[in-house]
Structure 1
Amino acid sequence: MSTTPREDNDHANARVGTTVDRKWRLDALVAISSVAATYKATHRNGVETALKILHRSQSTYAPVVERFLQEAHLANRIDHPGVERVLDDGKTEDGSVFLVMELLAGDTLEDRRSAAGGKLALDDALPAFDGFLDALIAIHTAGVFHRNLKPANVFLATDGRVVLTDFGRARLAERDAKAALSVEGLVLGTPAYMSPEQAQGKRSQIDASSDIWSAGAILFTALTGRRVHEGNSNHERLLHAQTKPAPKIASLLPELAPAVADVIDRALAFEKKDRWPSASEMRRAFWLATGRDESTLPAETKPATAKPDQGSPAAPARSEASQWLESATKKSDDADLLPPPVAAFVRTDPSVVLHGASPARRKKLSKTTILATVAMVLLVGCVAGIIVLTFTD
Structure 2
Amino acid sequence: MPVNSSELVGMVLGTCTLEMLIGRGGMSCVYLARQHFPERYVAVKILLPHLLTQDLDRASFLARFQHEANIIARLEHVNIVPIFTYGQQDQLAYLIMPYIPGGTLAQMLEQQKKLSIQQTLIYIEQAAAALDYAHSQGVIHRDLKPSNFLLYPDGRLVLADFGIARLIQHHEPLSHTLTPAGMLLGTPLYMAPEIIYGKPADQRSDIYALGIILFQMLSGELPFQGENTFALLSQQVQQPIPSLHRLNPLFSNDVDIVLQKATAKEREERYPSAGALVQALKHALSWSCQITLFENTGRILETPSIPYTPPHSTFPLADNPLTPASSRETPQKSSATPFSMWLLCGLLLIVMLAIFLGLHGSSDTPLSLVAVPSTPAETEQAKKVVQRYYKNLNQKDYQAAFELLSPQFQQSIHGLAHFTKGYQDIRQQTLTFKESQLQANGTIVVVVSLSVEAANKQRNIYLWRGILRKQPDTWKITQAHLCQLAGRASAFPRCSPTNQAKWGTT
- TM bin, normalised by shorter chain, reads 0.5 to 0.7
Deviations 1:322-377 (A, max 9, x none): xxxxxxxxxxxxxxxxxxxxxxxxxxxxxxxxxxxxxxxxxxxxxxxxxxxxxxxx
Match for 2:23: what amino acid? A
Residue 173 in structure 1 maps to residue 168 in structure 2: yes
Aligned mate of 2:7, from 14, 25, 42: 14
Query: Quick check: 1:284–1:297 contact (8 Å CA) kept in 2?
Result: no
1:112 to 104, 108, 115: 108
TM-score, L = length of structure 1: 0.66
Is the contact between residue 184 and residue 201 of structure 1 (CA under 8 Å) also seen in structure 2? no
The match for 2:40 is: 47
**Residue 95 of structure 1: aligned partner:** 91
| Compared CA separation, residues 48 and 297, structure 1 to 2 (3 A) | farther
**Structure 2-normalised TM-score?**
0.52
Offset, 1:186 = 6.2
Structure 2 counterpart of 1:97, which letter?
A
Task: Please list the CA deviations of residues 106-127 of structure 1 after superposition, one character each: whole Å capped at 9, or x if unmatched.
Answer: 12111111101x2223233221
Corresponding residue of 1:390 = none
Query: Is 1:139 the equivalent of 2:134?
Result: yes
Structure 2 CA distance for aligned equivalents of residues 211 and 173 of structure 1: 12
Work out the CA distance in 1 between the residues paired with 2:207 and 2:11: 42
CA displacement at 1:77 relative to structure 2? 2.1
Matched, 1:63 2:57: no
2:23 to 31, 34, 42: 31
Report what 2:185 is aligned to: 188
Deviates more, 1:55-64 or 1:66-75: 55-64
Residue aligning to 2:230: 235
1:210 has 2:205 as partner: yes
| Contact map agreement 1:287 1:297 (CA 8 A) in 2 | no
For the structure 1 residues 173 and 295, does the alpha-carbon distance in structure 2 shift closer, same or farther, using more than 3 Å as the test? farther
RMSD, aligned α-carbons: 2.5
Aligned equivalents of 1:73 and 1:211: distance in 2? 20
Query: In the TM superposition, what is the alpha-carbon distance from 1:38 to its structure 2 partner?
Result: 1.5
- Comparing 64-73 with 264-273, greater Cα deviation is found at 64-73
In 2, are the aligned partners of 1:8 and 1:55 still within 8 Å (CA)? Answer: no
RCO higher in 1 or 2 (8 Å CA, sep ≥ 6)?
1
Report how far residue 243 of structure 1 moved.
Answer: 2.7
Q: Secondary structure at the match of 2:169?
A: helix
Give, in angstroms, the shift of residue 56 of structure 1: 4.8
Which deviations, in whole Å up to 9, do the C-alpha atoms of 1:289-319 show, x marking residues without a partner? 3322565599xxxxxxxxxxxxxxxxxxxxx
* Amino acid in the other structure paired with 2:126: G
Q: Secondary structure at the match of 1:148?
A: coil
Structure-2 change in CA distance of 1:185 and 1:232 (3 Å): same
- Mapped contact 1:119–1:222 kept (Cα < 8 A): yes
Partner in structure 2 of residue 162 of structure 1? 157
Aligned residue pairs, count: 286
1:229-257 per-position Cα deviation (integer Å, ceiling 9, x unaligned): 21112222012223333233323333213
Alpha-carbon distance in 1 for matches of 2:143, 2:166: 11
Aligned mates of 2:25, 2:233 — CA distance in 1: 21
Partner of 1:274: 269
* Conservation of the 8 A alpha-carbon contact between 1:49 and 1:102: yes
Picking from 185, 193, 196, the partner of 1:199 is: 196
Paired residues for 1:195-344 under 5 Å = 195-203=192-200, 206-291=201-286, 292-293=326-327, 296=331
Query: Secondary structure of the residue that 1:269 maps to in structure 2?
Result: coil
Name the amino acid aligned to 2:212.
A
SS across alignment from 2:44? strand
1:317 equivalent in structure 2: none
Aligned to 1:330: none
Q: Which runs of 5+ in 1 are unaligned?
A: 2-6, 299-393
Instruction: Compute the displacement of 1:176 (Å).
Output: 5.1
Q: 1:279 to 1:156 in 2, by over 3 A?
A: same
Preserved CA contact (<8 Å) 1:246 1:270? no
- State the match for 1:74 in structure 2: 71
Q: Over alpha carbons, which structure has the higher Rg?
A: 2
More helix by share: 1
Determine which structure has the larger strand proportion and give its number: 2
Cα separation, partners in 2 of 1:297 and 1:130, compared to 1, 3 Å: farther
Aligned letter for 1:107? Answer: G
- 207 and 149 in structure 1: CA distance in 2 versus 1, 3 angstrom threshold: same
Give the distance between the partners of 2:109 and 2:49, measured in 1 at CA.
34
Superposed CA deviations along residues 56-87 of structure 1, whole A, max 9, x for unmatched, are: 51586333333233222212222101111111
Q: Which amino acid aligns with 2:106?
A: E
Give structure 2 stretches of 5+ with no counterpart: 287-325, 334-506
